[in-house]
Amino acid sequence: MLCTVNWEAAPHKPRLREREVHVWLAEVGRESRRRDLLGVLSAEEIKRAERFHFRTDGERFVRGRGVLRILLG
C-alpha cells in the first residue's frame, strides 16, 4: 500500500501542542540554500563540516545541522 502525503507550507511561528508530532520536509539541495544554512552554523560547526573526509558528507552535515538549528530556533 502506497501512502501519499500532501505537504503544506510551515506556519511562520509553529506551535507544538500536547500529544502532537510534527514531521518536517526541507528542500536543501540548491546552492543558495547551502549559503543560507551556513549562515546559521557556529564557527565550530563550520570547522567540523570541513573536517569530513568526503565533501558530500560535509555538505550533508551543513544541511542537516542548519535545518535543525532553524527548526529548534
DSSP letter at 13 equals S
What pLDDT tens digit does each residue of the chain (73 aa) get? Answer: 567 777 788 778 888 899 998 888 777 666 657 788 899 999 999 999 999 999 989 998 998 899 889 888 7
Whole-angstrom distance, CA of residue 23 vs CA of residue 31: 24
Domains in the chain: boundaries: 31-72
pTM above 0.75, yes or no: no
